[in-house]
Amino acid sequence: MADTFDAVLIGAGHNTLAAALHLSAKGWRVGVFEQAAVAGGAVKTGEYTLPGFRHDWAAMNLSLFAGSPFFKAYGAELAKHGCEFVPVNRPFSSSFPDGTWAGVSTDMAETLAAFRALSPRDSATWETLVARFGDEAPHLFGLLGSEMKMRALAYFMFKTFRAKGAAGTMDFTRFLLSSPRAWLEETFEHPHIRALLGAWGMHLDFAPDVAGGAMFPYLEGMAGQAFGMVIGKGGADTIIRALTAAITARGGTVETGAPVTRILRDGSRATGIELADGRRITARRAVIAGTSPRGLRRLTGDTTPAFDGGLDRFRHAPGTMMIHLAMDALPDWRAGADLQRFAYVHLAPSLDQMARTYAQAQAGHLPDEPILVVGQPTAFDPTRAPEGKHILWVQVRMPPGTITGDAKGEITATDWPSAAPHFADRALAILERHAPGMRAKILGTRIVTPMELEADNPNLIGGDQVCGSHHLAQNFLFRPVRGHADGSTPLANLHLTGAAVWPGAGTGAGAGFLLARKLAGS
């Protein structure tokens, strides 16, 4: 293997792989070096319970990837290398303790009927919001796809002002600054409809009362209605396997089991990397680090006080526990068999409960009633389990990375190996209440603690799957550090990419693609 490349990339997450593929297509020779035995970071799939049951380790929803500018450019090439998606027409729902449910389907009549059963007024409101989404989408997606530079942001605001006028632009700005609760309570009357949409904020770091979070419940709701969801055929790793194959086919290198110990420097210029086995890899044009800010700090040492201080202060969101279940059958939901037809079933009973769960996690306490995201991928993709069997992908949100206590006063352990079985039992008890008899259908279980997530992928500090809080003080122009939202660093030729860089978390590969286009000039 040659030890000199045009670009050397640290980590084989989907952002670095997307950057590597684009640079390869522009004629760059690229080398990707990943510390784990398997590429993909949080996007990978394996038989974590029993043979034949394929579970997504962390990320399951690939809608952002399938709808991204990157996939628009490289989708045909990735398809040739085996990338395949499964469309989902019933993306998400919520089951409630009173035995009712609500959900969003791509069939408008179906969604409206579910909403109407709870609130005729909210059903009418939803219909109006969907009708207006076509007018709002260009502004929101324009913002999320924009480079975070003052000039680009000023141009975006100019276009918004020209389209919306002064009053409309002020309303738009107010919406961007609103918390999920503020927008949901002024828009919908039924608490279950508010909770159905508010649960999306918990996928990021937007508890109901966090400013700047209203956009995500709105966008996920509208996108789910308009487009549904996309999951990977056979597992989320379909995109990783295809990306790796495409890079290799273009002459690039993707090496796993190759931890990077430091970034090599010549004064204020990055020149390559050193691997744990002592090899030195030279980068002629760029070193791209797909790491957390803290991880970058360890690899570079000191750069400038302002940048280093910003990396040190970078805040992470609460953690996640994953519970992978091999199932004899799908749950029999107490709210009705209709819930078996949804990709996600949220167990997030109210905005108040979500706020309490978040506050408990922030205090270091195991939540008394964690929020559950129950994924049912085999309802749409039976290839993930043996014939007639199923898997459940249970995301438990939001446990703390470091435990200081238990909000319920039942779990005395403060280390994850000891606390995990008890906390998982609490989560499964919640699921059992919503789907009686569920536990009797479990064939195999794999519990993944926040600390195990971090051990597998050092970017997921404390089990933070979004690699850093997205609160306003750490988003847009400030992600990860003011003046470096484009992935630049004080060291020439060194760039940061991944979820810690604008546009943040998700499977859209935005950070990697934006950076690669900047480096390649197109």
Per-residue pLDDT tens digits for 52-86: 999 999 999 999 999 999 999 999 999 999 999 99
Mapping DSSP to helix (H, G, I), strand (E, B) and coil, where does residue 504 land?
A: coil
Whether 1 shows a pLDDT value over 60: the answer reads no
What's the residue count for the chain? 522
- For CATH 3.50.50.60, the residue range(s) in the chain are 4-81+235-314+466-520
Q: Is 485 helix (H, G, I), strand (E, B) or coil?
A: coil
CA gap 189, 169 in Å, rounded: 26
Given a contact cutoff of 8 angstroms between Cβ atoms, the answer to whether 512 and 32 are in contact is no
Tokens of 438: 């569920």
Quote the percentage of the chain above a pLDDT of 70: 100
Has domain 4-81+235-314+466-520 been given CATH number 3.30.950.10?
no
Instruction: Tell me what pLDDT residue 161 has.
Output: 82
pLDDT for 312 equals 96
Find all residues with CB under 8 Å of 327, minimum gap 6, and list them: 385, 389, 390, 391, 392, 441, 442, 443
Within 280-370, strands assigned E span 280-289, 320-327, 344-347, 365-366
Q: What is the pLDDT of residue 2?
A: 55
Q: Using alpha carbons, select from 51, 15, 36 the residue that is nearest to residue 384.
A: 51
Q: Average the pLDDT over 172-194 and give the result.
A: 96
Confidence (pTM): 0.96
Which of 306, 312, 295 has the alpha carbon at shortest distance from 490? 306
Question: d(Cα 512, Cα 490) in Å, to the nearest integer?
Answer: 19
State both tokens at 146.
Answer: 């924009």
- Would the pLDDT of 151 be above 80? no
Output the average pLDDT for the chain.
Answer: 96
Q: Give me the residue label for tokens 């280390």.
A: 415
Q: What is the pLDDT of residues 317-346, one digit of tens each?
A: 999 999 999 999 999 999 999 999 999 999
Q: Environment class of residue 25 by beta-carbon count within 10 Å: exposed (0-12), middle (13-18) or buried (19+)?
A: middle
**β-strand 280-289 against 494-496: which pairing, if any?**
parallel
> Contact 454/461 with Cβ under 8 angstroms?
yes
